[in-house]
């Protein structure tokens, strides 16, 4: 399944409700699963982003739906990156090399 890395920042609402962050992460994992995707891991970070989530989804539409649901709650804003594993990158390089 394709992998997506979501860089998350708390909104003002999210910061006010920081005590619920672990519960919210668990709820996000459950919501993602209902869409047919999987929350592989989530990290709380220090620096320009407050959290980093790694999600596997069958396609971009599913990943986008999951992150729209997450953003719709109002606690975070996201920047999402499509990530490629080693085997995927090897196939990409082979195609590019002809």
Q: Are 6 and 42 in contact (CB under 8 A)?
A: no
> Is the model's pLDDT at 72 over the cut of 90?
yes
The Cα–Cα gap between 48 and 27 comes to 24
Name residues whose C-beta falls within 8 Å of residue 63's C-beta, 6 or more positions apart in sequence.
2, 4, 37, 55, 57, 80
Band of residue 98 on the pLDDT scale cut at 50, 70, 90: confident
Mind listing the pLDDT tens digit for each residue in 38-70?
Answer: 999 999 999 999 999 999 999 999 999 999 999
User: Considering the entire predicted model, what is its pTM?
Assistant: 0.92
* Closest of 35, 84, 41 to residue 63, by C-alpha: 35
Radius of gyration of the chain (CA): 15
């Amino acid at each position: 399944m394709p992998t997506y890395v979501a860089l998350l920042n708390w909104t003002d609402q999210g910061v006010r409700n920081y005590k619920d962050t672990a519960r919210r992460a668990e709820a996000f994992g459950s919501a993602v699963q209902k869409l047919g995707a999987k929350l592989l891991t989530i990290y709380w970070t220090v620096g320009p982003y407050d959290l980093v989530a790694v999600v596997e989804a069958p396609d971009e539409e599913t990943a986008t739906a999951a992150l729209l649901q997450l953003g719709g709650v109002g606690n975070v804003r996201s920047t999402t990156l499509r990530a490629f594993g080693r085997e995927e990158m090897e196939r990409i390089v082979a195609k590019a090399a002809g």
